[in-house]
Amino acid sequence: MNTPYQSFSAAIVAMALLLSPVDAIAMGPSDSSNANASAKVVKPVRVTTQSDMDFGEVLTSASSGTVVLATDGTVTGNGGAYVFDDTNAQAAAFRVSGERLEAYNITLPTTVTLSEVGGGTMSLTAFNHDATGVLSNSGQEDFSVGATLNMGAEQVQGDYTGSFTVSVDYP
């Protein structure tokens, strides 16, 4: 049998639990710590065309051939393709800008088709560049792109044009 003292003590404990449940189950002191957060915003990498690609004037023959345009602007005919006038020959030139001293990647096309009004076509392949892939202290780099022009035997005479895309991104 419970004594009045035991019933009174049990009532006080029950009341204490009901009035302050958090205090009744607290196990000890709490602690906290702060951390820092940071972020660095970098300049986006961009590429702009400085000049277009031009193979100059080329001759065809009864045999197919290629004309190689180097990144320094020199052109060389091979097989049945001959360089007639290289006065206007030039590699395409581009400028990359972005975060200084950062590395970047260049993506060149695999194949591009050049067309002329009469329906003739030729392809450009073997695209290459002379970039280092690292932006200078000023956050820029200029580079050139060359390619190989593939001419068919007795290639249709005319002015051939086409376009290609050069992309850059940070690794």
CA pseudo-torsion sign 50, 56, 61, 67: negative
Q: Is the pLDDT of residue 14 over 60?
A: no
Q: Are 140 and 95 in contact, with CB atoms under 8 Å apart?
A: yes
What is the model's pLDDT at position 23? 52
CA distance 125 to 110: 6
Asked if 137 and 90 touch (Cβ cutoff 8 Å), the reply is no
* C-alpha span between 89 and 37 (Å, rounded): 53
pLDDT at 95: 98
Predicted confidence (pLDDT) at residue 15 exceeds the cutoff of 80: no
Q: Is the confidence at residue 11, as pLDDT, over 70?
A: no
Kindly tell me if the per-residue pLDDT of 26 is higher than 70: no
What is d(CA 96, CA 104) in angstroms, rounded to the nearest whole number? Answer: 9
Confidence (pLDDT) at 29: 87
| CATH tag, 46-169 | 2.60.40
How many residues would you count in the chain? 171
In the chain, % of residues over pLDDT 70: 85
Whether the model pTM is above 0.75: yes
Domain edges within the chain = 46-169
- Indicate the Cα dihedral angle 130, 76, 107, 141, nearest 10°: 30
Task: Say if residues 96 and 140 touch (Cβ distance below 8 Å).
Answer: yes
Chain segment 83-115, per-residue pLDDT in tens: 999 999 999 999 999 999 999 999 999 999 999
